[in-house]
Amino acid sequence: MIVKDELLSKLRRYFDLNLYEVKLWTALLSRGVSTAGELSDIADVPRSRSYDVLESLEKKGFVVMKLGKPIKYIAIPPAEVVDRVKKNMQVIAQEKIKRLESTKSSPLLAELETLHTQGINLVDPSEISGCLRGRSNLYNHLDLLIKEAKKSINIVTSEQGFLRKAEGLKPSLEKARKRGVRIRIAAPVTKESKKAVESLKGIAEVKHNEHVASRFFTVDGKDLVFMTLNDAEVHPSYDLGVWVKTPYFTASMDQMFEQVWNLSK
């Protein structure tokens, strides 16, 4: 894959990345899913550096590490990357945020979308799965799935998880509801969370769940994110979620959700 030096230069300037980062990112966009070794060869980046650079891109929200061996990486859609970088950089410099906003209407983003579209079309849907490390990355991905939802969003969460979602995901949930998406949340409802329930009136249906202690999130019967740890016992930086795009598994979790929903009040 040959990417023009001019494009790499623009990406470094707009997204605040180093040369190895932009080379590996554009290489991954052109493939959709790939190993560090393959990306190293395509991007002409030393193999000894590729894992460190990809880990850096993962922390910044540009890629998701796929489950299984060998370790593979999945490209996040460029438009979503723009939003993530904008959030991360807001505290540092307002000027950089203005630059990123300008990319949404420029040929630069169209070029990135072309790379990603061509790459993702080559990927088997069963390969679209990933590990979401850290609560910030986890909620960024939930936000992305909400933006793409067309029919339904089902959520089982903890008391604190409900409060976090009511605060951090409310704008996206509200937009999804306006698109006609049905949103249901089963969570422990306490005195502390009653205000959050009120704030979601007209947006989501909320029921008190005291039967199943779990944390998972399904969208349109296709996408599933489930959290592997108890959020009351783990630091946000070490929270861990697994995202899979599989109607078969998601349908099973939706059946579990229906059971929880019918038992809840």
For the chain, percent of residues with pLDDT exceeding 90: 64
Sign of the torsion angle spanned by Cα atoms 13, 17, 21, 25: negative
CA 224, CA 220: separation in Å to the nearest integer?
A: 9
Q: What DSSP line would sit under 22-63, residue for residue?
A: HHHHHHHHHHSEEEHHHHHHHHT--HHHHHHHHHHHHHTTSE
Q: What angle do CA 75, 80, 83 make, to 5 degrees?
A: 135
Q: Which helix (DSSP H) or strand (DSSP E) does residue 185 occupy? A: strand 182-187
Q: Round the average pLDDT of the chain to a whole number and report it.
A: 88
pLDDT confidence band for 101 (50 / 70 / 90): confident
Mean pLDDT to the nearest integer, 211-233: 93
pLDDT confidence of residue 179:
95
Structure tokens belonging to residue 185:
């949340």
Q: Domains for the chain: give ranges and CATH numbers.
A: 5-121 (1.10.10.10), 126-263 (3.30.870.10)
What is the Cα–Cα distance from 200 to 169, expressed in whole angstroms? 11
* Per-residue confidence (pLDDT) for residue 96, from 0 to 100: 73
CA pair distance 160, 77, nearest whole angstrom: 29
| The predicted structure's pLDDT at residue 211 | 85
Percent of the chain with pLDDT over 70: 94
Q: Is the pLDDT of residue 218 over 90?
A: yes
**Given a cut of 60, is residue 120 above it in pLDDT?**
no
Q: What is the pLDDT of residues 59-90, one digit of tens each?
A: 888 999 988 888 899 999 999 999 888 887 77
pLDDT tens string 163-191: 999 999 999 999 999 999 999 999 999 88
Find the helix packing angle between 94-103 and 5-15, rounded to 10°. Answer: 140
Dist. CA 189–CA 207, nearest whole Å: 8
Is the predicted pLDDT of residue 161 greater than 70, yes or no? yes
pLDDT at residue 110, rounded to an integer:
79
Predicted pLDDT at 1? 56
Going from the C-alpha of 222 to that of each of 52, 139, 210, the distances in angstroms are: 32, 18, 26
How are strands ordered across the β-sheet holding 205-208? 33-35, 72-75, 63-66, 129-133, 240-245, 223-227, 216-219, 152-156, 182-187, 205-208
Distance CA 261, CA 211 (A): 10
